[in-house]
């Protein structure tokens, strides 16, 4: 959830209704609007990198040894006007071709600010742009039919679709006398247009179930998950919110907003009743807290620990920070890694950060604006291909100092793995490192280095990396 702009905008409503080669050294630390246009296409078969053109007959995502990559299919304040679902729909084939396995969509149901809302102030969970409510029929993103067409197209491309679920708070209710506060509160949702999950004051804290749960957000009515009526409508009934999203709308998974606001048992119970992939937005850099939540929620969690360590490493000249603890190191199967999202975009030097998450363990996420607007798409497609085809096995950190970081993916089930070399200095660097491979020729799959060294019998080899860049090495096959 947008912790600053959303709150400010809704309070204003007053709750009323790298790849470089030796000759072309690109500055990977350029800010978002710089476009790197000097890219060498070494091959067109996916090695060393995909250019974004389809490399398969049907142009559909096919899972590789390293798994897939999630696309965050929106950013804060995407254009209003009801065309966003169509915009995303038009990009799905290219994303699938590039190796994107899933797309995360913004909150899809009608919210208080109607056609202008980003969805994080939900009013009616069953209005996907098909009821005249809160000043509009369509949501900011479009109509229910357009959303359904997007999901159908994604599934045809072998991609999954994840819904952003906001169940900490609601907004857009009518005023009513509340005996638990002794005042009027905006908690009357008995008139929602869908007629489903009607709510009144006892469905929000404070109420007969207590004064509060783990946390409230921005003064919005705080939904009470302890109330059996609320639990029934969220995940138990056959027409519950979760089952409607999954069985009718055909969503495949969930991104839970602001999970600091309720206990991890809520997500755990949702997952037990509904199923599908899930990830929680627990905005906390403490890896112990992230691991605790993920285990108790039976869910993945965004790796904010890695996020802030990458900022320290790539923006503040301390690659040693990558030695520190992160969620993906604790449990890569429950860690969703990212470089930016709709809420936070603090990492300035993004390409090495993407090289990091797309070569390491965890489930990497690409931010829409980084991919479509701000960074070089061919370089990102190269890293996506490397992730899907080479990033296998456990991780061993081989070398770090302030300017250099080298790590090895140890390979799995016949896949050779890789070695990633990140260099933040202003000079070419070379290092002897131990690989997974004995007496084998290797190459840099980014195309940055022209070396094709052969590993020694003891698996040692010298590799190199261009200034302010990265290289990724694996068997030349």
Backbone angles phi, psi at 365, to 5 degrees: -120, 135
Q: Is residue 208 part of a domain?
A: yes
Query: Is residue 124 assigned to a domain?
Result: yes
User: Residues 6 or more apart from 218 whose CB is under 8 A from it?
Assistant: 6, 7, 10, 11, 169
Q: Does a structural domain hold residue 418?
A: no
**Residue 435: half-sphere exposure toward Cβ, Cα within 13 Å:** 29
CA 206 to chain centre: 33
Q: Is position 476 within any domain? A: no
**Range(s) of the domain holding residue 342:** 5-17+64-391
**8 A C-beta contact, residue 403 and residue 425:** yes
- Under 8 Å between Cβ of 422 and 398: no
Per-residue HEC secondary structure of 98-137 comes to HCEEEEECCCCCEECCHHHCCCCCEEECCCCCCCCECCEC
Burial class (CB in 10 A: 0-12, 13-18, 19+), 320: middle
Structural domains counted in the chain = 1
Note the pLDDT of residue 59. 67
Residue 269, in any domain of the structure: yes
Structural domain contains residue 462:
no
Long-range Cβ contacts of 323-329 (<8 Å, 24+ apart): 323/397, 323/400, 325/287, 326/287, 327/287, 327/290, 327/291, 327/294, 327/301, 327/303, 327/362, 328/303, 328/360, 328/361, 328/362, 329/287, 329/361, 329/395
Check: CB of residue 104 under 8 Å from CB of residue 119.
no
pLDDT at 21: 33
DSSP string spanning 224-287? -TTSHHHHIIIIISTTSHHHIIIIIS---EEEES-GGGS-HHHHHHHHHHH-SEEEE------H
In this prediction, residue 233 carries a pLDDT of: 98
Strand partners, 423: 404, 469
Q: What pLDDT shows up at residue 58? A: 60
- Give CA separation, 386 vs 379, 444, 464, in Å: 11, 11, 18
Residue recorded with tokens 């952003």: 164
In a domain, 30, yes or no: no
Three-state DSSP state, 380: helix
Looking up residue 243, the CATH number of its domain turns out to be 3.20.20.80
At residue 445, the 3 state secondary structure works out as coil
Query: What is the H or E stretch that residue 6 is in?
Result: helix 5-11
Instruction: Report the largest interatomic distance among the alpha carbons of the chain, rounded to a whole angstrom.
Output: 79
pLDDT recorded at residue 287: 98
466 within a domain of the structure (yes/no)? no
pLDDT along the chain (477 residues), means of 10: 41 33 32 28 29 46 94 98 98 97 98 98 98 98 98 98 98 98 98 98 98 93 98 98 98 98 98 98 98 98 98 97 98 98 98 98 98 98 98 98 98 97 98 98 98 98 98 97
Q: How many CB atoms lie within 10 A of CB 114?
A: 20
Angle CA 255–259–261, to nearest 5 = 145
């Amino acid at each position: 959830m947008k912790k600053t702009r959303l709150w400010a905008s809704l309070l204003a409503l007053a709750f009323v209704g790298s790849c470089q080669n030796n000759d072309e050294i690109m500055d990977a630390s350029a800010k978002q609007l710089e476009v790197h246009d000097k890219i060498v296409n070494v091959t067109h078969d996916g090695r060393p990198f995909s250019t974004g053109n389809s490399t398969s007959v049907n142009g559909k995502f096919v899972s590789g040894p390293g798994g897939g990559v999630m696309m965050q299919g929106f950013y804060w304040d995407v254009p209003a006007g009801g065309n966003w679902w169509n915009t995303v729909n038009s990009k799905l084939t290219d994303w699938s071709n590039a190796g994107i396995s899933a797309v995360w969509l913004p909150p899809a149901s009608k919210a208080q600010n109607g056609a202008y809302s980003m969805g994080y102030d939900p009013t009616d969970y069953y209005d996907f742009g098909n009821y005249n409510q809160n000043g509009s029929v369509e949501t900011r993103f479009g109509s229910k039919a357009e959303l359904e067409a997007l999901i159908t197209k994604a599934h045809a491309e072998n991609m999954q679709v994840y819904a952003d679920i906001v169940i900490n708070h609601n907004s857009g209710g009518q005023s009513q006398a509340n005996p638990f506060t002794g005042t009027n509160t905006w908690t009357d949702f008995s008139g929602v247009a869908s007629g489903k999950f009607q709510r009144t004051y006892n469905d929000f804290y404070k109420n007969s179930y207590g004064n509060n749960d783990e946390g409230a957000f921005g003064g919005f009515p705080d939904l009470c998950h302890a109330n059996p009526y609320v639990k029934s409508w969220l995940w138990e009934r056959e027409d519950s919110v979760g089952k409607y999203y999954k069985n009718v709308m055909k969503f495949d998974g969930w991104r839970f907003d602001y999970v600091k606001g309720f206990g991890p048992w809520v997500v755990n119970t949702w997952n037990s009743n509904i199923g599908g992939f899930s990830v929680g937005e627990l905005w906390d850099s403490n890896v112990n807290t992230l691991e605790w939540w993920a285990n108790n929620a039976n869910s993945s969690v965004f790796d904010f620990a890695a996020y802030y360590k990458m900022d320290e490493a790539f923006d503040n000249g301390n690659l040693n920070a990558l030695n520190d603890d992160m969620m993906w190191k604790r449990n890569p199967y429950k860690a969703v890694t990212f470089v930016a999202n709709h809420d936070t975009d603090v990492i300035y030097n993004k390409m090495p950060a993407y090289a990091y998450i797309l070569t390491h363990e965890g489930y990497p996420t690409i931010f829409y604006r980084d991919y479509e607007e701000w960074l070089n798409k061919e370089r990102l497609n190269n890293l996506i291909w490397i992730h899907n085809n080479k990033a296998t096995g456990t991780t061993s950190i081989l070398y770090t100092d302030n300017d250099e970081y080298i790590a090895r993916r140890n390979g799995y089930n016949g896949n050779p793995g890789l070695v990633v070399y990140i260099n933040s200095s202003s000079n070419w660097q070379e290092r002897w490192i131990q690989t997974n491979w004995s007496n084998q020729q290797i190459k840099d799959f980014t195309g940055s280095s022209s070396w094709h060294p052969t590993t020694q019998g003891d698996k040692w080899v010298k590799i190199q990396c261009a200034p302010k860049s990265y290289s990724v090495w694996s068997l030349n096959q």
